[in-house]
Structure 1
């Protein structure tokens, strides 16, 4: 569930702390592991900010915030190459003249592997990444085959029939309510709000600065 903005932010922090702006993560060794077939990032679109300066991105047509760039080649998958822009926010530092942020931005980036930071790290190169294919959690070959098809969106009559047979009511045991999974964020928010409103205790709110 690593958001693209968080990866870019960590990259910017590493460069700043190590004072190595031209090395990915400032030269810090980075080892990542994960499965992009799992849940995607749940970050709301309206909360996205520039990883370098923290400016909240407005409309892509706002000339005061972004400078549109010519089509830029990028190895990330599923990115519109015509929507690269550069953050024009003015950075003001004590006893220093203001400078322009200049960070690259593309509003069609949705996953960490589409970011410039991912490309800088060289994770798109086969000699720097490894694909783990053996499943250890499951032993049933038919079930493994179905899981592999489902994560790619491949459905046939056999797969649907197999999954339909697994449908059954779940009864809470020991007061534990089964976790509910939803396909859309709004449905999950509605479920969480409904259950939260059932609580009768006093509500406390704590502010935080990230």
Structure 2
């Protein structure tokens, strides 16, 4: 079978007892970055074979992994942080398991957009998760489409592109649209900056930005 294991997005204490138990029981652990995951595994004294599984090799090895599980092997999938499949590899492997009648179980756990959405102060009864926007092709088309979105919108972004993306949001959504940028969630220097798109843009334009970024933007009224 396949276990999908969410991992802490910053604070190593945000890991469940069940996740530790499962990882100690499996035959193989797949990790987006084996070095990053080894820090977590060593912290919880988990000693199991570990192998890389990421966007650059998943197409090549997914069939082989499905065959291993069909033959009786139990595998756990980790990503660097958060829940596998949420802007991280997992879909191809889960689909292969479903196609081959291999049991899949996803444990509940950390994912960055949920705490960012909840603490944003913006409506969360209905929202859309967009993950990372296209870097080039299709980006303008997506911006125009989202300009009319009435639900709260949630995005992931890298620190080096944050200010540029906020500037584009101002162009397409309007400078007065409310938003919240969360960075370094669960870590020592966690920051949640709320305000209009213009206010938040100006705040981050005046400082060096570090850490993982979640942007939550108010929908069109």
Q: TM-score range by the shorter chain?
A: under 0.3
Per residue, is there more strand in 1 or in 2?
2
Higher relative contact order (CA 8 A, sep 6+): 2
Structure 1 or 2, whichever has the larger Rg, is 1
